[in-house]
Structure 1
Amino acid sequence: MTEQIRVVIADDHQAVRSGVATILATDPTISVVAEVEDGFSAVEACTKYSPDVALVDLRMPGTDGIWATERITSHTDTRVLVLTTYDSDELVAEALAAGAHGYLLKSASGPELVQAVRHVAQFHHVIDPAVAGGIIERLVAVKALPHSGMRQAPLHKALTEREQEVLELVATGMTNQAIADHLNIGVTTVKTHIASLYSKTGVTSRVELGQLMFM
């Protein structure tokens, strides 16, 4: 028997939640364990049900999707797939920096949504083709940073070589586990470096850390 992919849906529109649940129900290996309407409830649901994937909208009342994504990926093993109408490069970058494994527009077809959920559940990253171009441009910019004037800034002189590496990987949207695997170090060590980055930069979230790379 194929193991079920457990999913939480977070969107402030009941019709959207129902529609997404109906689409996911077409795949017998996917099971929706909770539907919630705001970011805080999404975090609570992921903590309570330990789903494999959380589908999170960006704009919800009270606490938004970026806030929820950062807390879900920081405090649970759930992977986040952002499902939204917004195609802004800035929002895509913020979502990935917050730890999202995927970013999909609501204009995606049913089969595309199902496939995206399955890919994210398997720890793959999924980016909607409509927004992929902007992300590629940002990654190219990060790769070019060693030759830019940015690294001459006092802030970056204060960082160790390893902290700089971790900062660059956070900016690409990697989770702590992915960074640990990439650098061949422990997750606890990654968390220590990120804590040091918070202290040295004065920022308080992964989103803000990621944005430092594009300022």
Structure 2
Amino acid sequence: MTEKIRIIVADDHDCVRAGVRQLLHATPHIEIVGEARNTQGLAELTDMYHCDVVVSDIGMPGLDGGSNAIPFLRRMLRGRTHPAVVVLTMICHAHMLSGLLHLGVSAIVDKRDTTAALIDAIRTALAGEVYLSEHVRIAIETTDTPPQLRASVLSAREWEIFQLYVQGLAVHEIATRLERSGKTISTQKRTAMRKLGLETESDLIDYARQIGLI
């Protein structure tokens, strides 16, 4: 017998959870082990149950008064072992969508796409590959500066510099902290922005806010 895929579903809209529940219950070899209506509930469920995949909205109440689930998902994805994450969303901002991939999200499904897309996303994520539903793919491909997804993933040092910068540290302060030259830090900051498709400081701050860094 094929082992069942264990899934936790999180969305603050009852109707969305009901639709996902009906779809997954009708799909062989899939088992829903928990449902949450906010990030706190999602955090509790992931502590209580082993699961293979988390299917989650991001625009729902966060932890500690936060406005979205991204900070929690980011922390979870940094763990040594973690479930694959499939984001179910209505967001169509290309920079934010590519940012979710940089965080380690395995798949992004637009809620306007067919129900079959969610099943495909779950199976693709379990296979260790990236899945984008049609609306998501179009949003990313039609942006003026389309990110090159896997080819443009930030290095660990670029990501560290990016985070320190959006937290308010100046380039010379980051250089001192990391014991690197200011020129090196400035170059790596520009490289990170280019990879993310960000052109201005305003774009950088807006992007960081959208993915929950500030």
Asked if 2 retains the 8 angstrom alpha-carbon contact of 1:9 and 1:32, the reply is yes
- Please report the TM-score for the alignment, with normalisation by the length of structure 2: 0.66
Q: Which segments of structure 1 move beyond 6 Å, counting only runs of 4 or more?
A: none
Q: Distance in 1 between matches of 2:192 and 2:11?
A: 25
Aligned to 1:35: 35
Distance 1:26 1:73, change over 3 A: same
1: CA distance between counterparts of 2:47 and 2:166? 22
Rounded to whole Å, the distance in 1 between the matches of 2:61 and 2:51 is: 22
Correspondence list, 1:13-162, <5 A? 13-62=13-62, 63=66, 64-75=68-79, 76-136=81-141, 137-139=146-148
Larger relative helix fraction:
1
Structure 1 CA distance for aligned equivalents of residues 116 and 163 of structure 2: 42
Deviation of 1:81 after TM superposition, in Å, equals 0.5
Secondary structure in structure 1 of the residue aligned to 2:153: helix
TM-score normalised by length of structure 1: 0.66
In 1, Cα distance between equivalents of 2:160 and 2:128? 26
Contact 1:81 1:100 survives alignment (8 Å): yes
- The one-character-per-residue Cα deviations of 1:73-109 (angstroms, maximum 9, x if unpaired) are 1124211100011222122122112210011011222
In 2, Cα distance between equivalents of 1:197 and 1:89? 19
One-letter identity of the residue aligned with 2:49? Y
CA displacement, residues 146-186 of structure 1 (integer Å, 9 cap, x when unaligned): xxxxxxxxxxxxxxxxxxxxxx424xxxxxxxxxxxxxxxx
Residue 28 of structure 1, CA deviation? 2.1
Letter of the 2:120 partner, please give it.
Q
Residue 8 of structure 2 aligns with an amino acid whose one-letter code is V
Residue aligning to 2:153? 169
- Which AA in structure 2 matches 1:109? T
Distance 1:33 1:123, change over 3 A: same
**Separation of aligned partners in 2, 1:124 and 1:100:** 10
Which structure 2 segments of 5+ residues have no match?
A: 168-188, 199-214
CA contact (8 A) 2:113 2:135 kept: no
Answer whether contact 1:43 1:71 (CA < 8 A) is retained. Answer: no
> How far does residue 199 in structure 1 lie from its aligned partner after superposition?
6.1
User: Helix, strand or coil for the counterpart of 2:101?
Assistant: helix
3-state SS of paired residue (2:147): helix
> What SS class does the counterpart of residue 51 from structure 2 fall into?
coil
Q: Distance in 2 between matches of 1:79 and 1:204?
A: 27
CA RMSD of the aligned region, Å? 2.9
| Fraction of identical pairs, as percent | 25
Aligned residues of 1:39 and 1:67 also touching (Cα < 8 A) = no
Contact 2:112 2:135 in 1 (8 A): no
C-alpha offsets along residues 22-65 of structure 1, whole Å, 9 cap, x if unaligned? 10111120101110112233233223212111111020023413
**Range with greater deviation from structure 2 (20-29 or 90-99):** 90-99
Letter in 2 for 1:72: M
Counting matched residue pairs gives: 165
- Bigger drift between 90-99 and 27-36 goes to 90-99
CA contact (8 A) 1:46 1:78 kept: no
Output the CA distance in 2 between the equivalents of 1:96 and 1:121.
15
